[in-house]
Amino acid sequence: MIAYIFPGQGSQFPGMGKDLYENSPIAKELFDQADDILGFGIKKLMFEGTAEDLMQTKVTQPCVFLHSVISVLSLGENFNPGVTAGHSLGEFSALTAAGALTFADGLTLVSKRAAAMQKCCETQKSAMAAVLGLEDEVIEKVCAEVTATGKTVVAANFNCPGQIVISGTEEGVDEASKQLEAAGAKRVVKLQVSGAFHSPLMDPAKVELEAAIAATKFSAPKCPVYQNVDAMPHTDPEEIKANLISQLTSPVRWTKSIQNMISNGVAEFVECGPGNVLTGLMRKIDRGVKAGHLA
């Protein structure tokens, strides 16, 4: 069984999607639709924008979604996933690719999610940092102890064994980083992101996203979609919606998602969209499974 997996924010690059637009009639049509759906020239930003242009959350997320989803929709009938999954933002790509959301609804939701998250980023100083070479339990314990002092910080992304991302207020992330280095982390690297994703600081965005999701029609996907909040496969539209809402303030359980897919019969993973971050993580989760990027 083949799993198609979709990246999150951070995998964008200048010129993304231009080759798809120029070489696929389906892609050209969908990119042109995207401009109409969003009401601005997103394809121009993707094809001609600088790295800085693509860094704002409200721009980054629709760009990554478009590149990811259009790459698989361009395959037409050749796209036959056994399961799909996406990392953070990528979960919307996975759901759209699997038919739980229409292209227009998926893009609209991603745009609303990105705008709500951008607002959170602008109202409170926050940060994220990657912690390398330390056990999950140690990281969670340190985060809980720092949060108990009034400086919010949580484990946000369980990317692969030995790579966990923490998220919270600047003070919380700075204090936790010091303590984690003292506890034996190989490195703690502050990330170039605009906010504390997958933490309680995203609560205001969660309220906005919940209203948008409630107003959107979800269908049963054509294959199970593994969701971030519980690392389990889902096909029920109501469960999918609830998990998407929770995802904004809950950790991304990517390692467990991959392990569960392998346990349930996935023998090959195909990354769809910009970059190859997820393929790199796969090698650290299970080297014995075939993984590559959509050609």
Does the active-site annotation cover 198?
yes
Buried-exposed string 126-162: b where 16+ CB fall within 10 A, e elsewhere: bbbbbbeebeeebbbebbeebbeeebbbbbbbbbbee
CA 153 to CA 145: how far, in whole Å? Answer: 9
What is the dihedral angle through the alpha carbons of 246, 249, 255, 258, rounded to the nearest 10 degrees?
30
Q: Catalytic residue, from 67, 87, 198, 234: name it.
A: 198
Q: Which residues pair with 86 in a beta bridge?
A: 6
- Name the token pair of 137: 């339990």
Contact 214, 208 (CB under 8 A): no
Distance between CA atoms of residues 112 and 76, nearest Å? 27
Among residues 71, 88, 167, 177, which one is catalytic?
88
Give the catalytic positions in this structure: 88, 198
